[in-house]
Amino acid sequence: MDPMNWDMPVPTRRGFRFRMTRRMIRMRHWVFGLDRYHHGSSYFEPEGVEHARQVCEDANRDFSAFIAPPDDVPLESVRKETQRVRRDGVQVQRWSFDSPLPSGVANNDRVHLQLFTPPGVAADEPVLLFHHPVYQRHWSRWEWFLKPLIQKMPVAVLAGPYHFERTPDGQFPGEGAMNANPARLYQAIRQWCWDHEAAVELLRTQVGRELRANVGFSLGGFQLLALASTGRVNVPMVTISATNRYAWGLTHGLIGTGLKRSIDQAGLDDPTFRRWTAALQMDRHVESLRSKRLLYIFGSLDRVDPPPSLERLRDALQPERVIELPMGHGTILFQRRRISQEIEAFLAL
């Protein structure tokens, strides 16, 4: 496949449902302070545009080598922050540790993880590790979404770079990773991969639980597939609303209006931006995963990364099991019980 192939039919933007959904997303982002990007040039400081170009070229040259963590990722300064028991008997632990690949941003370089353990499970019951979407500030949303699974098995949620407590002061969650400078996203993906390995080590050595499966939602699904493409994931995987082609989604999808404006302000025209983000097309990297156990869950109404992008990802992956739900990218959250049942059944095979 030509890595720069942009010859895909453009989905219509004239549909009433598309326009109304995009307006609702814009309203949500405005209410919660998301997608309010600064002038695009500010995201290239202090290194400058030339440094960003070099980082992108390095990532495009060999994406797997760029993001792959070493075999001996360090786990340092581990601290159990809090521990409590919910009314339903679920134990909730909050852990933190130093990122093994620091960015130089203090908040971002302290990694946070929440572990949910239902009553009655064995002390060595393996744990499911969840990777979240972009723009996440509140843990409670994912505690709610994962509740059906949490009632059955240990579940850990790992905070990705620049999200939750890792969000720098003066930024909205995810801004430090996904902004007008594509190099920041490459670097955040790489840091997330290293953090994942350290989190698995924490669960193994500090909690006594091996990894049972990885689950990724949206950008978290992209992140999970990226890590798996390096050969570092040897447990079953589940992706939910996983994204595929970054530049395609920004240009033709439902979200990213403020980000696209910031990119234009930075002076990156469409051909340059597509060239710099060429490696951020996951269907280019995943054919090696066809032998892996993968449950692929998606919404037939998903227009965040619109057709035919997700179809190309699915064809490249050839997952063991595919679940199509009549939902959009975000509204698929309301199918949490069905998703939980499918994950349980998949892991029981």
- Tens digits of residue pLDDT in 238-264: 999 999 999 999 988 877 788 999 999
Tell me whether residue 197 is in a domain.
Answer: yes
Structure token pair of residue 126:
């393996």
Q: pLDDT exceeding 90 applies to what percent of the chain?
A: 84
123 pLDDT higher than 80: yes
pLDDT at 252: 87
Assess contact for 313 and 93: CB atoms under 8 A: no
Higher pLDDT, 78 or 3: 78
Q: How far is residue 191's CA from residue 160's CA, in Å, rounded to a whole number?
A: 9
Looking at residues 138-159, what average pLDDT do you find? 97
Q: Name every residue whose Cβ is closer than 8 Å to that of residue 95 and which is 6 or more positions away in sequence.
A: 78, 79, 80, 81, 112, 113, 114, 115, 202, 206
At residue 120, the pLDDT reads 96
Task: Give the CATH number of the domain where residue 298 resides.
Answer: 3.40.50.1820
343 domain-assigned: yes
| Residue 2 banded pLDDT, cuts 50, 70, 90 | very low
- Report the domain count for the chain: 1
Distance CA 65, CA 52 (A): 18
In the chain, the percentage of residues whose pLDDT exceeds 70 is: 90
Tokens 């991969």 belong to which residue? 193
**Which residues does residue 213 pair with via DSSP β-bridges, in sequence order?**
128
- Domain presence at residue 1: no
pLDDT at 255: 73
User: Mean pLDDT score of the chain, rounded to an integer?
Assistant: 91
Asked whether the predicted pLDDT for residue 6 surpasses 50, the reply is no
What's the confidence (pLDDT) of residue 26? 52
pLDDT value, residue 349: 75
6 lies in some domain: no
pLDDT value for 3: 41
pLDDT tens-place string over residues 178-210: 999 999 999 999 999 999 999 999 999 999 999
Whether 4 shows a pLDDT value over 60: the answer reads no
pLDDT in tens, 58-73: 999 999 999 999 999 9
CA–CA distance, 176 with 239 (Å, rounded to integer): 24
Residue 290: inside a domain: yes
Query: Which residues sit opposite 323 in a β-bridge?
Result: 297
84, part of any domain: yes
Task: Determine the longest span between alpha carbons in the chain, in angstroms.
Answer: 57
Q: What is the pLDDT of residues 274-333, one digit of tens each?
A: 999 999 999 999 999 999 999 999 999 998 998 899 999 999 999 999 999 999 998 999
- Domain containing 61 equals 16-348
pLDDT band at 15; cut points 50, 70, 90:
low
Is residue 230 in some structural domain? yes
Residue 5 falls inside a structural domain:
no
The predicted pLDDT at position 344 comes to 98
